Every structure is written in structure tokens, then in C-alpha cells.
Structure 1
Amino acid sequence: MTKRLPNLDQISLDLMIAGTKAAGVRRTNANRSACADLQIAIREALRAVLPEHDPRRDPAYPFNQE
């Protein structure tokens, strides 16, 4: 059985929400795309600093797991 690792999508969503709150930016339909772009950027930044052997570095994670 493989060890379940924290989901980068959920972590990046939580960080995007916390960041927009801290900056005083309300998330609305008008800025939904910008918030989604921010979440993706956070996820990719997290992926870039993971150790080399971490399976979450693969963009297909968790679907690449058996």
C-alpha cells in the first residue's frame, strides 16, 4: 500500500484563499480566472521545491499511482 501524501491541489487552494484574504481581495465571479491562475502558480511552485524522489513532482499525481 502506498503512503497517502497531502494533495497539492488542496494545499494550493488553501494557500490561494489565505493569500487573497490576507491581501484583502474578495474572490468574485469577476476575478475567478485570476484566482485560479494564482492557485495553479502556487501548486507549480510547491511542486518545484519538492524532493527529487517525491511522486507529487509528476504532473499526473495521484493518477500515476497503482
Structure 2
Amino acid sequence: MKFKFTCDICNKQVKRGDKFRIESDQYDDDSTLYGEFGAMACKACHTKVITHINSIKTDAAAAA
């Protein structure tokens, strides 16, 4: 489904595009968490975030 929205990361006005929610949560214990960060993102920003996360995972695996 295509949406009209403003990307929270790049502030681009998306007139008809894919909409992604990026969240980062912190856990207090095994059953409680609270939101640290949440953003609506366009496809371009979502792809950049996923690529960066995969790069961090690769670097961490190589360092271990």
C-alpha cells in the first residue's frame, strides 16, 4: 500500500510511497521495556538503516 507522509529522518515529503517504522527499545528487565526512538521512514532511509545495521553485524562478527 502506498502512503502520503513526511519521512522523519530526511524530512522528505513522500506523496505516494512505502512507509516503514523504525524503532529502538530499551529493556528494563525481561518483561518491561520503553521506547527510546521511533521514526516513520521512506524506503530510501529504511534501506540505508538496514545496510548500516548489517555492516555493524559483519564488523562485529569479524572482530569476535
Q: Into which bin does the TM-score normalised by the smaller protein fall?
A: 0.3 to 0.5
Relative CO higher for 1 or 2, CA cutoff 8 Å, sep ≥ 6? 1
TM-score (norm 2): 0.34
Look at both structures and tell me which one has the larger radius of gyration over its CA atoms.
2
TM-score (norm 1): 0.33
Structure ranking higher in helix proportion? 1
Structure ranking higher in strand proportion? 2
